[in-house]
Amino acid sequence: MSDWLTPGLAHLWLPYTQMKTAPAPLPVVSSQGVRLTLADGRELVDGISSWWTACHGYSHPHIRAAIEAQLAALPHVMFAGLVHEPAARLAARLAALLPGDLERVFFTESGSVAVEVALKMAIQYWRNLGREQKQRIVYFRHGYHGDTFATMALCDPEEGMHALFAGSMPDQIMAELPTDGNLGRAFDLLLDTHAERIAAVIVEPLVQGAGGMQMHDAATLACIGEACRRHEVLLIADEIMTGFGRTGRMFACEEAGVVPDIICLSKALTGGTLPLAATVARRHVFEAFLADDPGAALMHGPTYMANALACAAANASLDLFASEPRLAQVAAIEAQLATELAPCGELGGVADVRIKGAIGAVELCGAIDLDGLRRRFAELGVWVRPFGKVVYLMPPFVIEPDDLSLLTGAVRRVLTERAAALP
């Protein structure tokens, strides 16, 4: 291990990490199913699916075989003036799976970029229709849509990761989620007042992920969708985290019967194997870009967009959703999380316990030693990485009940220890 770890750490810059004080990262050498194997031979049950991506677990043979076959044939080719089968097949399959007429797929490599493309689509949509003043985006408190500059401007302004850049970002409009009648009326008034300058509303349907695993119901999402239609504002659904079964439906917006004008997908799209994202637009959005004027086209083109290896992995992942009982597995995970995390609600230092699909979140209060919590979870043989005030589980859908109980048991134990140590 020392032949790569020690020399490498001298040059790595890790994400979301104060490199001066943070403990050393754990060296992983292999993965299989729901387990990560460390260089010292220890195994950790992964409770967060590598940032919510590994929905089928690690090293699924069907996805691995698809990547190997594609590697032998065509690893990558530029996607301007050229096209290839994995991307064409994937676009058609996504259009068939998504609700309504979400049918035009623009591929990128990451969720943040998928959101940036959605913003460009929304703003240029109105510009192409002669309504150039519609340029602002409405987002919601506790929202998170990425770490690039345009997406940072759509995150909760009190979110610590982005506060340093407040003066450098575009000025957008934050709203409260319309979770009750009064907030619904306030949201409607906001759109009514500013409709002539609002291009789109962006929302994480049902669960706001990195903003603290905040959850809202289908009625709230339906309220947002109806208000957008009424005030001629596009609706962007950021399903980068919620898409592909995580909330119990293939796509979270389906629970409310809402068809957004644009949807953003990533994370579990390739089953946690290769970087890929997609921004998918409804027919009327796409048609606004069709003109004799070349300037009306969408001017965006990531170098590695529609990477053939990643598209092959995504097609294989969709095969597994079709052939294996993923949504039934999510329902079983939801029931087990609800039962086994419920006792956390009685502990000192716990503010709330929330469950939705294969997401279990325990919100803490009081002083929180994140590094200490993470270290203790690893000592117990699980990979759980709390952030902010939330200890959460988002395991692979293929996890067995006994392994899920290892995760929930570790959460109960660690939070019980924390409660005992509180003043």
Residues annotated as catalytic (active site), given as ranges = 16, 144, 238, 267
Question: Both tokens of residue 71?
Answer: 């590697």
Among positive and negative, which fits the CA dihedral 266, 267, 272, 275? positive
What's the CA gap between 409 and 354, in Å, rounded? 16
Phi, psi of 135 (to 5 degrees): -130, -10
In the chain, the N- to C-terminal Cα span, in Å, equals: 41
The span from the CA of 415 to the CA of 369, in Å, is 12
Query: What does DSSP say about strands 234-238 and 262-265: parallel, antiparallel, or unpaired?
Result: parallel
Query: Under a CB-based contact definition with an 8 Å cutoff, are residues 270 and 276 in contact?
Result: yes
What number of helices (H) and strands (E) belong to the chain? 13, 16
CA angle 199, 200, 206 (to 5 degrees): 175
Q: What 3-state class would DSSP assign to 201?
A: strand
